[in-house]
Amino acid sequence: MRFPLAPAGWREMFILTVLLGGSGAAALTFAARGVAVLWPVGIVLLLAWIAGLLFFRDPERSTPTDAGLLVAAADGKIDEITHLDAYDGISGPATRVATFLSVLDVHINRSPCSGVVRDVRYKPGKFLDARDPDCGRLNEANTIVIDPDAPHAGPIVVRQIAGLIARRIGCNVKPRDRVEVGQRIGLIKFGSRTEIIVPGHDTYEIAVKVNDRATGAMTILARRAKATTTDAEQEASVQHA
């Protein structure tokens, strides 16, 4: 049976276990021997330890696999849907859908589609609150570019963005890796933001709205719209890139 915690968080889980779990157990041991004042201290420490471990929970998910669907890359609240005039690496306009992850959300990132990883780029930066409008531009981030399987238009970009508390981004994939829709591709530790950028303003029909809750690998984020001549030309250019 699979252990339901993310291996990428082993270091933090070990520290939490030593500092909070160990201290809580010690406090309860002394409380049981007559130091009654330590009962609430021990209970609070153990609850904090459990809460810390739960941050790294990694549940199994059932992913819709219908052709042309993009699924959410993260758990959290949809806090932005923006039409962009241009985006680096995408020919022409693009659409960005961003999800804010609180410290209570599952922080595993998943691939929104099946395809092949074209590029992975890490950028150091600041640690603004993930709800700050400048965080996507200024914060530490990791960008994963995927050439998706048909009938998707590509590339599909996934950005992992660190937040005020999150200061470590984990990525499980590298260029030329094959990924499947819903596959685990990384982890952002503590509160953060995940963006998906798709080509065009009407290439995809966005299936969520701002303030909706998304569940990674399960929520349908967008559906591929009927291909146009422009889409076909763009896909041909991607295949020959």
Longest dimension (CA), the chain: 79
What whole-number distance in Å separates Cα of residue 183 and Cα of residue 76? 17
Residues with catalytic function: 192
* Cβ-count burial 71-105 (b if 16+ within 10 Å, e if not): bbbbbbbbeebeeeeebeebbeebbbbbbbbbeeb
What whole-number distance in Å separates Cα of residue 75 and Cα of residue 106? 6
What whole-number distance in Å separates Cα of residue 36 and Cα of residue 106? 36
Please give the distance of CA 116 from its chain centroid, rounded to a whole number.
18
